[in-house]
Amino acid sequence: MTYSTILYQVDDRVARITLNRPKKMNAISLKLCAEFQHALEVADRDPEVRVVVVTGAGGRAFAAGFDLTDEDEKGLEERTLEDKKERKDRDFKFNYSPFNCSKPVIAMINGYCLGGALEFITMFDIRYCSDDACFAVTETRFAVGILTLGMPWVIGQRCRELIFTGDTFGAMEAYRLGLVSRVFPKERLDEEVMRIAKRISRVAMPTLKWNKRALNNTLLAAGFDSALRQGADACLLMNNSESEFRRFHEVLRYQGVKAAIKWQQSTFQPFESDSSHAESPSLNG
């Protein structure tokens, strides 16, 4: 199958899926969601594939979140609650797909990983990043909910500050918190991650699959699935609650993306420190 928003290739037992919208910083559109899940299913069924590596094209970003300028987003505010829930369910299924894959799935994070993309990578088995990687729970600062609340399961209760503030944090902080397992120089990221993936691919397939199933079942027994689904419901409620950030959507609609982001940033700017903020690269959540 030919894809338009991702690249898919297999080399020596390792499937590689590249989010391929570099001009949009690989923002996650509905089409990308569908194509990614199809490619992941192909890799899961392929007996020659033992490991899946996911990365972003262009070098600037793994992904800058869900694409709020996607054609399907237009008029979303006016849709019924049932329509919004249907859309959230589709996005939730996309985020959950790496967890549901029977084979190990690795995130190779090069640059920005924001909002929905940060949610997404918490559902991967392993995360590695480049030394210029940049993370943030951008949803907080746009007054929308976190659709897939995987961060508490990855880094524990230290996620509270990140979620409550929406602060930006870098690669070494991500490593300190346990969000990523290793940090590599940007120019060596691809080589080093693929070396690890190839080592994993030398393990017997039943061993990989049953180890992943056992690890997943540990989380499921602790209430992982139930907690994530309750979090998704809370997200839907947040997204339909009234707040002063309705002003953001008004500015977005009538004055455009740049004006909306400028308004949003002005709310937080007086209280920022050098370590708590980086300019948002685009309008993605």
Among 89, 69, 280, which Cα is nearest to 168's? 280
- The residue with tokens 């972003």 is 56
In 2-75, which ranges are E strands? Answer: 6-11, 14-19, 51-56, 61-63
- Domain span including residue 33: 6-271
pLDDT score for 280: 47
Domain membership of residue 277 (yes or no) is: no
Residue-level pLDDT at 278: 47
Q: What is the CATH number of the domain that holds 163?
A: 3.90.226.10
User: Is 120 within 8 Å of 151 (Cβ atoms)?
Assistant: no
Give the tens place of pLDDT for each residue, 170-227: 999 999 999 999 999 999 999 999 999 999 999 999 999 999 999 999 999 999 999 9
Active site residue 244: no
What is residue 72's predicted lDDT score, i.e. its pLDDT? Answer: 58
Q: Which of 244, 261, 238, 242 is nearest to 88 (CA)?
A: 238
First to last CA, the chain: 29
**Average pLDDT for 40-49:** 98
With respect to residue 281, please indicate whether it lies within any of the assigned structural domains.
Answer: no
Provide the pLDDT confidence category of residue 282 given band limits of 50, 70 and 90.
very low
Residue 203 lies in a domain: yes
Q: Residue 279 falls within a domain, yes or no?
A: no
Does residue 41 sit within a domain? yes
| CA–CA separation, 9 and 208 (whole Å) | 21
Let me know if residue 282 belongs to a domain: no
Which of 119, 191, 242, 244 is an active site residue? 119
Q: Residue 62 corresponds to which tokens in the numbers above? A: 């793994």
**Is 279 part of the annotated catalytic residue set?**
no
Does residue 276 have a pLDDT over 50? yes
DSSP string for residues in 74-113: TTGGGS-HHHHHHHHHHHHHHHHHHHHSSS-EEEEE-SEE
Please identify which of the residues 139, 244, 272, 279 carries the catalytic annotation.
Answer: 139
246 occurs within a structural domain:
yes
Number of domains in the chain: 1
Q: Can you tell me the mean pLDDT for 58-79?
A: 77
